[in-house]
Structure 1
Amino acid sequence: MSNDESGNPDTPGNPDTPGDTDTSDDADTPPSIDDVDPFESEALAGEVPDDLDGAVTAEWKATTTAFQRIHTVLENTYEPKTTAEVADAAATTRPTVRKHVEPLVEAGLVEERDDGRATRYAWSETQRRVNRVADLAERHSAADLDAKVRRAKERIAEFRQRYDADAPNDLAEALDSDDTEGWDDLATWRTLEADLKRLRAAQSMADYLADSGPNTGRRDRSNHA
């Protein structure tokens, strides 16, 4: 069970402890579900500082809002964190985390997991994949994406011809356990297949953004909070 510093379980139903109150700089209004942009996924406040002691904490709090810090902590979270853990990492309070995390969960950016003892939060793996596709679409021109797709397809075709296999799984079944080069090629082939899916998705997203007009890109939208 995850306990806060006062010894109380960190569960959604527990009342806040007397010392667990918002400070003035953490009292910013949380964005609504309509305000949260799934594509605006870059860390709103940069990377989480390695050392949150003393002056570093003060500077981070002075230059960001509570929502930005919570967003940044969760976006860099792979192992789910409790409300108390997010609050500690974001230099804020548990009530503030609960207030700001709700729209992120509703928007599908953050996954909420309740094991009956505590509620934990982590950035959505689906959203991470969407972010990677969006970054490809934003950072590369249509011609660049076309060239990358063409090259990936050419290399996949080379593996198919070399091993007389239609798919990576076919090659895996045919390889001997000591065929080091073959297993290396298999890993490369699987990576190329995954890259090709992302590149094709990026092409579709780039087409959508182009058709939607010049003001729909992520970087054209204002940060929240």
Structure 2
Amino acid sequence: MTDSPDPESFADINEKVGEEWEAQTTPYERVREVINRAYSPISAEAVADDARTSPKTARKHLEALADEGFVTTSTSETGGKRYQRSSESLVVEQAAEILAEISTDELRERVADMRETVREYQNEFGVESPEELSVTQTNEVLAETGTGSETIDEDTLQEWQTTRRNLAFANAALSIANAQKFVTDDTHTSSGSISPS
């Protein structure tokens, strides 16, 4: 039988890793990394604790990240300010990752395939979205007026939702690629200013 490690040894290792992270990064970098992993709104104090900095410093960097569009703010029930990664920055990050992995030609093909898959789901179930289908089926169950329509299984529902999400990210990536192309083309042909229509 092997002896289990002492829980204190894990605490010591975690502290050592935390100290190294603190020594190798700036407070701004640590605050950005903490908020990057925040899936729900959190306070500056909570960010400061995880980022190994003061609440005042965390708040300063969170406000800068909010000005950059990386973070959004909201107010808690108690009136305190909360911070969360902005959905726009998540979309841009995901789109950039897609563009780094595949060509725009291949991406256009994948977008066409995903659009066709979404259309097939819409035609099969007679609704525009998986959310609408869930609501319709719930209403039928509650009203006990099942129309005999096929009940969608959870795996199919998840596949439809995933395809729609991936299609949205792929469309965003294509939009960014097109915008980058126009920016590149415009810098060669003009001063870069936008002319009124």
TM-score by length of 1: 0.60
Stretches of structure 1 that go unaligned for 5 or more consecutive residues are 1-49, 215-225
Counterpart of 2:106?
Answer: 144
Q: Does 1:55 align with 2:16?
A: yes
How many Å separate the matches in 2 of 1:157 and 1:122? 34
Q: 1:81 is paired with a residue of what secondary structure?
A: coil
Give the one of 190, 193, 213 matched to 2:164: 193
How many Å separate the matches in 2 of 1:155 and 1:134? 24
Change beyond 3 A, Cα 1:161–1:59? same
**Deviation at 1:171?**
5.3
Q: Is the 8 A contact 2:44 2:55 kept in 1?
A: yes
Change beyond 3 A, Cα 1:167–1:119? closer
Which one scores higher on RCO, CA 8 angstroms, separation ≥ 6?
Answer: 1
Change beyond 3 A, Cα 1:119–1:207? same
Counterpart of 2:86?
Answer: 124
Change beyond 3 A, Cα 1:107–1:162? same
How many Å separate the matches in 2 of 1:147 and 1:123? 31
Counterpart of 1:208?
Answer: 179
Give the one of 98, 110, 134 matched to 2:96: 134
Q: 1:112 is paired with a residue of what secondary structure?
A: strand
Aligned AA for 2:37? Answer: N
Query: Among the aligned pairs, what percent are the same residue?
Result: 27
**Deviation at 1:70?**
0.5
TM-score by length of 2: 0.67
Stretches of structure 2 that go unaligned for 5 or more consecutive residues are 1-10, 141-145, 186-197
Counterpart of 1:156?
Answer: 118
Change beyond 3 A, Cα 1:213–1:138? farther
Change beyond 3 A, Cα 1:182–1:96? closer
Aligned residues: 164
How many Å separate the matches in 1 of 2:168 and 2:162? 10
Change beyond 3 A, Cα 1:87–1:154? same
Aligned AA for 2:92? Answer: V
Aligned AA for 1:156? Answer: V
Where is the helix percentage greater, Structure 1 or Structure 2?
2
**Deviation at 1:51?**
8.5
